[in-house]
Chains A and B, each alone.
Chain A
Amino acid sequence: MKRLSRGLRTLADCAPIANAKAPDRRMRTAVSRAKRTEDFAAQQSFDRAVAKLVQATPVSTEIQEWFANERMAEGAKRSWKKTALHPAILAIGIALLVIAVVAWIKFDEQMHAFPGTGTAKKLLNVAAMTRPSEFEPMQTEAGTLNDLFFMKYRLEHYDVPPGFSQQRTIGVRVFDDDEAGQVAQISLAEKRMQLFLFPARRDSKSGKPEEFEGWRYIEQEGWTGAVQARKGVLFMAAVRGPKKDLAPYLSKPKE
């Protein structure tokens, strides 16, 4: 046995007592190599003698009666339904489901993200928190405010899109935001809607405004925003409610 490698000797030391029971090739190899040594034969004889002695252990009649049917010790196989309903399997399943849902939501968010999503979401919060008294009262058509923004604040291309230009305003304010820059916020009478105009994010390499085609929706805490980019300025219409409240106002961009 000492001639065997350490791995084979380790296996040969616990070689099956009955030859037929070698469960794998490594064990069969170890047994086959060990058989060439003299002390393995002594080990096998020793083991067989001890096993024979164990088999000769008297069993009381009481135990024989209890153990009348040996097959009962084989255990019962679980059905797949029972396995699936096991609390541990259920917990793992639910956890995987939650992870999948979160991953899908994140993926969906990324798919619908546009340059300026973060700023637009921040401004949705602003919309939710702005009190009417914070606006400078201004009752006019929203479409006429571009002159005010240019003349008073030097804000170029802060134009309200045609779908909203006929809406009556009740207040206006312009403020500086760390992220967004100069933001124009307009409060409308209809549906207590709010309009935002703010600079589009600029590409770090080229310095050009990052724009996108058409309307993009964002949702946050019960508010919905529809965002459009035009001439380096993002326009966002915000309303407390679902997308369908905004849909009638959104016109397709002119080709």
Chain B
Amino acid sequence: MTGEASKAQDIFQDTLREAAFLAANGEPPADRYWFFREARWRCLDVVAHGVQPEYGANESTEVSPRAPEQIEQLEPEQLAVWISAAPEPQRSALALYYLDEFNYREMMSMLGLKLTEFSRAIASGRREFQAWLNATVPAAASE
């Protein structure tokens, strides 16, 4: 979400502190979604105060059957940077989706998105990431 491990760590700690503070006041977070919602808003706040990526019309292409091989050549940080540069709400949708922790209804509820919006964010994210992969890991793509 932030593209930087140090910022993510600060947000993680702030979120847990907030949860502990609420629990100490007798109002502990009602469910696990609270942590993700809270962390998401904190991420958006931090990103809004940082350097903003330039959003343009990203190239996109159909998902390739060779994509897993391309992805294997990436570092997790590269994926994190790519996702953090995506516009909202696509960034949050991709981050939650690839955490592989929630079903689509839970994610729609956490993000406040309709099914079509959520689905479009994921599908277009996939195609744009494939285009980026083809540009970044061309050797595998060209095979």
Contacts and interface: CB of A to CB of B under 8 A. Distances in A.
B104 A75 contact: no
A24 to B, nearest CB: 7
A50 interface: yes
Interface in A29-50: 39, 41-43, 45-50
B30 A54 contact: no
Nearest to B124: A13
Contacts of A50: 71, 79, 98, 129
A16 B71 contact: no
Contact of A76 (B30, B105, B129): B30
Nearest to A76: B28
Q: Which of A14, A22, A53 has the most CB of B within 10 A?
A: A14
Contacts of A13: 119-120, 122-123
B23 A58 contact: no
Given A54-B79, A76-B28, A63 B9 contact: yes
B49 interface: no
B103 A53 contact: no
Contacts of B105: 23-24
Interface of A is mostly: helix
Contacts, number: 114
Interface residues of B, number: 47
A75 B119 contact: no
A210 B130 CA distance: 86
Contacts of A18: 100
Contacts of A72: 19
Interface in A59-91: 60, 62-63, 66-67, 72-78
A46 B126 contact: yes
Contacts of B103: 16, 21-23, 27
A62 B106 CA distance: 29
B5 to A, nearest CB: 7
Count class of interface residues, chain A: 35 or more
B72 A74 contact: no
A10 B115 contact: yes
A11 interface: yes
A49 B9 contact: no
Contacts of B99: 51, 54
Given A14-B119, A43-B63, A46-B130, A73 B35 contact: yes
A151 interface: no
Interface string B30-54: 1111110000000000000000000
Nearest to B94: A50
B76 A57 contact: yes
A14 B122 contact: yes
B23 to A, nearest CB: 7
B65 interface: yes
Interface of B: 5, 9, 12-13, 16, 19, 23, 28-35, 62-65, 67-68, 71-72, 74, 76-77, 79-80, 97-100, 103-107, 115-116, 118-120, 122-123, 126, 129-130
Given A49-B68, A57-B77, A75-B35, 4 more contacts: A11-B104, A54-B99, A62-B9, A75-B28
Query: Which 7 A-B residue pairs are closest in the complex by CB-CB distance?
Result: A76-B28, A49-B68, A23-B103, A49-B71, A13-B123, A57-B76, A75-B31
19 contacts: A11-B104, A13-B120, A23-B104, A24-B105, A45-B65, A46-B64, A46-B130, A51-B98, A52-B71, A53-B74, A57-B77, A58-B76, A63-B12, A73-B35, A74-B31, A75-B32, A75-B34, A75-B35, A76-B28
